[in-house]
Amino acid sequence: MTEELNIHTHGKVGHLSLKRPKALHALTQGMCEAMADALLAWRDDDAIEAVILDHAEGRGFCAGGDVQLVRNSALEDGGTAGRAFFHAEYRLNHLMFTYTKPIIAFMDGVTMGGGVGISQPCGLRVATENTMFAMPEGSIGLFPDVGAGWYLPRLPGATGKFLALTAARLSGAECLWAGLATHYLEAEHLAAAKARIVAGEAPAAVLDDMSAAPPEARLAGNAPKIDAIFGHDTLEGILAALEADDSEWAAKELKAVQAKCPATSKVALRQFAENAQCADFAANMVMEYRIASRMMLRHDFIEGVRAVLVDKDGKPQWNPATPEGVTDAMLDEIFAPLADSEEWTPFAQLASNA
C-alpha cells in the first residue's frame, strides 16, 4: 500500500485509483510495485472478477512516470535507481497485458507516457471529453516506451509514427477513432458506469450501453496525409516529405518533428521495425528495457528533462543536433543486448505467459 494509490475491493471488483494529484498522478516505483502486488493477488482470487483503474482526483488520469527521479539517478548513481524504476514499471505493464480478468481503464484526463503504459494493456479503455493522450518522450530525449513499441505500430496506417515523432495530443474522440480507447463516455456518467460494474453487471455491456456519440475526430480527416508523409521508413524521408508539402498542416508538423530529439525519433523508428521480430509482448519489453537502460544515461535525456521540467526554458540542446548525426552504429549500441544478469524479466509466475 502506498499513500499515492488507493487499493480497494467492492464485492467482486478490485479498484486501483491513482492518488498523486499534484504530479497529475505520474507513476513512482512504489506505485508500480503496489499496483502489481494487488493485481497479482487478485489474479488468483476467485472472488475478484474484474478490476477498475482510475484516478482519485484532479486532472489525471496519469501524466507519465517519475522522470525526474530517473534523471537524478543518471546523474548521481549511474542509473541504478532509474533502471529499478523501469524494471518495475515494465513488469506492471506486462502483468496487465497478460491479465486474464478484465481491467477497465478510465482515461479521464491527461494520459501520457506511463499513463499510456497502464491504460493500453487493458481490454476496456474509456475515453471522455477530458482525455488528452500523448507520447511526449521526444521532448525530453527519452523514447516511446511502456509498450509503445508494441501498440503504436498496430494503430491505423502511419498513426503510430505520427504520434511518436510529433508528440501530438489526441482528444478522447481521436483515441476512439485510432483504437487507443474502446469506448467514449461523457465524464459526468463515469461514476454511474463504475457503480453498475461494482453492482455486478458485465463491464463491456455497461460501457456499450452508456457510450455516447463522440465529436468528430480531427485525426481521421488528417489520416491520408499522415499515412502518405509518415509512411516513410526514415526520419530524413519523413522530414523531406513534410518540407515538400506546402500546406499549413505540414508546416505545423514539420516544426513539431524538428523540435524533438533526433536520437529519440530514430530510436522510435528502429523500435517499430524491431517489434516485427518480437514474438510476444515480453520480448518487446526486453527490447524497450535495453533501450531505456541506455537512453536514460545519454546527454539528450538529462538535457531534455532539464529544459522541460527543471529549468523550464524549453530550449534543449540535443547532441547529435541533427538526424544525420544519429548513426546506425549509435542505434546498434542502444539496442544491443545487456548482460544476462541485467536483462529485463517478467514476474516469475508470468514467464511462460508472455
* Beta strands 183-184; 124-127: pairing state: parallel
Extract the C-alpha cell encoding 33: 510495485
Copy the grid coordinates of residue 190: 463515469
Check 108, 137, 253, 288 and give the catalytic one. Answer: 137
Establish whether 114 is a catalytic residue.
Answer: yes
| 201 a catalytic residue | no
* Separation between Cα atoms, residue 154 and residue 138, nearest integer Å: 20
Question: How far, in Å, CA of 144 to CA of 61, rounded?
Answer: 18
User: Which residue in 301, 289, 299, 279 sits closest to 137, CA to CA?
Assistant: 301
Set 65, 109, 172, 304: catalytic member:
65
In angstroms, the CA 150 to CA 143 distance is 13
- In the chain the beta strands, taken as DSSP E runs, fall at 5-10, 13-18, 50-55, 61-62, 103-107, 110-112, 124-127, 132-134, 183-184
Q: If we measure between CA atoms, which residue out of 159, 157, 115, 154 comes closest to residue 133?
A: 115
Q: One of 145, 174, 274, 288 is an active-site residue; which one?
A: 145
Name the nearest CA neighbour of 142 among 278, 321, 288.
288
Please say whether the beta carbons of 257 and 238 come within 8 A: yes
12: number of Cβ within 10 Å: 15
Pairing outcome for strands 124-127 and 61-62: unpaired
The answer to whether residue 65 is catalytic is yes
Query: 314 catalytic, yes or no?
Result: no
| Positions marked catalytic | 65, 114, 137, 145
